[in-house]
Amino acid sequence: MTIISVANISRIDLNLLIVFQCLMNERSVTRAAAVLHVTQGAVSSSLKRLREQFHDELFIRTSTGMMPTRRALEIAPKVTEALTAVASIVDKRPQFSAESSTRVFNIALSDDIESYVSPRLVNEAKARGLSVKFAFHQSNSSLWKSSLADPDIDLVLCSEPKELTSHYSSQVLFSSSYSCLYDGPRLNLKNPLTRDEYLMHEHVRISFDGRRGFVDDLLESEGVARRVSASFTHFSGALATLVHSDVIATLPTFAALSYARIARLTVSPVPIFVPAFRVFMVWDVEHNDDPHNRWLRSFIIDTTQELQRASHTDLRGSDRLQEPNEKNSRSST
């Protein structure tokens, strides 16, 4: 039998944990206040009490929003678990049963995230004996609003969504950086790549408009011209060229690992500094309490725990992962 310390629980107003959860999801006092239907002053007051309770800043104001501290990242999963348990106790509405429902969930996402998430969702649903199905639609950090404008879309998965407002709720799923992907035997290149090898070989660029990516900006700042033989607007579009041509791609690490398994390619750390970025789950605020949407969000969180744990480990132990800024948060490479 689990022993619960009632004295410890009584020291904190549980409503403060709701504010914490909302700030973790929204990364904005303004948006959190809108979701909670309270004033910004009330949220700020609750944040002050949370800081006193946990003896930590928890959220630091930056140009890109309220960024969680290491302490906040550590306690966030436990807060989510606790609030989910409480909600299940007090919620008297009929619960959604994924074991018997034939509902098709429509998820909009970029193809790099799709390469990692879609097989895991399908396999996990089969392993659990679920009857629900999934339909995957293309989107990205610039087009996510257009995707959610479609009433059939349940939620969007994308990196660093632009222009989040109080009309939407969001939650960070995991953080990632970038890796190199290439045919090692074909190029006679081992792992890891050296900087000289990276610079001397031709590259394929993947970017939203097919014209420029952050790697171009990084190398140009050093006075180095990047050798690009082809550009693509989708990550999966570059896969055949990577298999059949003497080129290197720089792409999100989770996508590089997924594509490497598909095409037996080589994955290597990028031998220059590359930024970190975050993958978000975004949905319409009106669906916060929808049982179908809540189940889907929980299922996605459970299924991506592997990357959540990896990103938390990197954040605690490595200087490679840095908080992204507006310029380097793009997934274009």
Distance CA 177, CA 256 (A): 11
- Tell the CATH topology of 6-90: Arc Repressor Mutant, subunit A (1.10.10)
Distance CA 136, CA 128 (A): 20
3-state secondary structure of 62: strand
User: Considering the chain, what is the average pLDDT of its residues?
Assistant: 85
3-state secondary structure of 94: coil
Q: Where are the domains of the chain?
A: 6-90, 105-177+276-317, 178-269
Per-residue pLDDT, 225: 86
Q: Which pLDDT band, with edges at 50, 70 and 90, does 329 fall under?
A: very low
Amino acid residing at 64: T
**61-70 per-position pLDDT tens digit:** 988 888 999 9
Per-residue pLDDT, 331: 56
Q: Which pLDDT band, with edges at 50, 70 and 90, does 4 fall under?
A: very low
Per-residue pLDDT, 265: 95
Task: Say if CB 161 and CB 130 are below 8 A apart.
Answer: no
Task: Say if CB 269 and CB 177 are below 8 A apart.
Answer: no
pLDDT beyond 90 at 109: yes
Record the pTM.
0.68
Task: Say if CB 265 and CB 259 are below 8 A apart.
Answer: yes
The residue-averaged pLDDT of 310-321 equals 40
Angle of helix 70-90 relative to helix 305-317, nearest 10 degrees? Answer: 150
Q: Where are the beta strands (DSSP E) in the chain?
A: 59-62, 65-68, 104-109, 133-138, 155-159, 168-176, 178-182, 202-206, 228-232, 247-252, 266-269, 277-284
Q: Please, what CATH class does the domain formed by 178-269 belong to? A: alpha beta
Per-residue pLDDT, 104: 96
Q: Please, what CATH class does the domain formed by 105-177+276-317 belong to? A: alpha beta
Q: Element (H or E) spanning 8, and its range?
A: helix 6-10
pLDDT beyond 90 at 268: yes
**282-315 per-position pLDDT tens digit:** 999 889 888 999 999 999 998 988 776 665 444 3
Query: Do 178-269 and 105-177+276-317 have the same topology in CATH?
Result: yes
Question: 92-106, 151-165, 267-281 — which is least confidently predicted?
Answer: 92-106
Higher pLDDT, 79 or 129: 129
Q: What is the DSSP string of 232-292?
A: ESSTGGGHHHHHHSSEEEEEEHHHHHHHHHHHT-EEEE-SS----EEEEEEEEGGGTT-HH
**164-191 per-position pLDDT tens digit:** 888 899 988 888 999 999 999 999 998 8
Q: What are phi and psi of 306, to 5 degrees?
A: -60, -45
pLDDT beyond 50 at 323: no
Distance CA 257, CA 299 (A): 22
